Amino acid sequence: MITTSYFAREKDIANPVCIAQVKPSWSKSREYKKLAPPWALVDRYKRGLVTPQQYTQEFTFVVLSLLNPVEVMNEIVSLFGEDATLLCYEKSGDFCHRRIVAAWIEKGTGVVVPEMKF
In tens, the pLDDT along 8-65 reads 999 999 999 999 999 999 999 999 999 999 999 999 999 999 999 999 999 999 999 9
pLDDT at 11: 96
Residue 14 is assigned to a structural domain of this protein: yes
pLDDT at 15: 97
Residue 98 is assigned to a structural domain of this protein: yes
Confidence of residue 114 (pLDDT cuts 50, 70, 90): very high
Residue 115 is assigned to a structural domain of this protein: no
pLDDT at 37: 98
Residue 52 is assigned to a structural domain of this protein: yes
**How far is it, in rounded angstroms, from Cα 27 to Cα 25?**
6
Residue 29 is assigned to a structural domain of this protein: yes
Residue 114 is assigned to a structural domain of this protein: no
Residue 117 is assigned to a structural domain of this protein: no
pLDDT at 50: 97
What is the count of structural domains for the chain? 1
Residue 100 is assigned to a structural domain of this protein: yes
pLDDT at 46: 95
Q: What digits encode the pLDDT tens for the residues 65-107?
A: 999 999 999 999 999 999 999 999 999 999 999 999 999 999 9
pLDDT at 25: 97
pLDDT at 112: 97
Domain containing residue 67? 3-109
